Amino acid sequence: MDTRNQTATVSVYSKRGILLRLIYLVFAVCWYALTVGGRIGRCSLIVLYYHGIPAGMRDRFDWQIRKLSEWKSSTSCTVRKCRKGIHRGIHVTFDDAFANLMENALPILEQYQIPATIFAVADNLGCLPRWEMPYGHPESTERTMTAGQLVAVSKNPLIRIGSHTLTHPDLTRIRPDQLKTELIGSKHRLEELLGKPIEDLSLPFGSYNIEVLTIAREAGYKRVYTVDARPANPMSQEPVMGRFAMSTDVWKIEFILTCAGAYSWLYRVRKLCHLFLYHRFFCPRAWATIPR
């Protein structure tokens, strides 16, 4: 069974439209209230994923990161450790390693001392994205970091570099031999370039299945990031970690609620819908046995 979640643009919130965003917001507030102030787990981690940060959005990104710095738990709980008693941790990630992060994101992260992970497409350094994008995608004209820039960034103690595969394909739609090349090849290439182990993998489009996770584990990845909107538990032995989509054009209340895990309801609803459709149309016999 495949799990797919795709983000069409950088503006993951604004793309929904005002009405839908308000509906989502109401559900988020209700979910937050029902989970006792958002305390989903005693040691849960909210992982945000951005893509690029345009120059015109630098001030908004500054506000978001400054907000994280004001929440003491954001620097106390990371993907590597979680101190006893901390209810919420927040970690920032960036997919695709766009070059605009050099000027518009890294200086702000350094100013507020917020750690982050940048996932690079190993065979797409220093050029425009060569993977499939919707027509008019705002990042189709954004260049990624060059090999030299990635090396320089990797020397920053706040930044960890991870793999976003070799060419950014949907890993559930390629042959097994291609899958191994994408996961193992990208890891080895980045390790050779940076001179340090690559332990984190971000799945393109968030697509994965059992085979993808098995090969990722065999390749030596310790953490595999999806785009499932659910908190992660850094103390768990499970390598799969959910993430929450984030962009610089969100409302402040949306940002705050996302960091509180209030949009976790999206994952639950999507999972229920997926199970319903799977049993209803692909396993009709199983569907027929479900009590009404």
Domain ranges in the chain are: 14-288
pTM for the full predicted model: 0.85
Say which CATH topology domain 14-288 has: TIM Barrel (3.20.20)
pLDDT at position 201 is: 98
Q: Report the chain (292 residues): mean pLDDT per 10 consecutive residues.
A: 40 70 93 72 81 95 96 50 56 97 98 96 97 87 97 97 98 96 98 97 95 96 94 80 94 94 89 60 40 32
Q: Is the separation of the CB atoms in 173 and 213 below 8 Å?
A: no
Question: How many other β-carbons are positioned within 10 Å of the β-carbon of residue 128?
Answer: 12
pLDDT at position 14 is: 60
Q: Please choose, from the candidates 96, 95, 75, the residue with its C-alpha nearest in 3D space to the C-alpha of residue 227.
A: 95
Question: How many other β-carbons are positioned within 10 Å of the β-carbon of residue 161?
Answer: 24
User: How far from each other are the two terminal CA atoms of the chain, in whole angstroms?
Assistant: 25
pLDDT at position 235 is: 72
| Four-point Cα dihedral 212, 217, 220, 225, nearest 10 | 60
Tell me the chain's radius of gyration from C-alpha atoms: 19
pLDDT at position 34 is: 87
**How many whole angstroms separate alpha carbon 71 and alpha carbon 90?**
9
pLDDT at position 88 is: 60
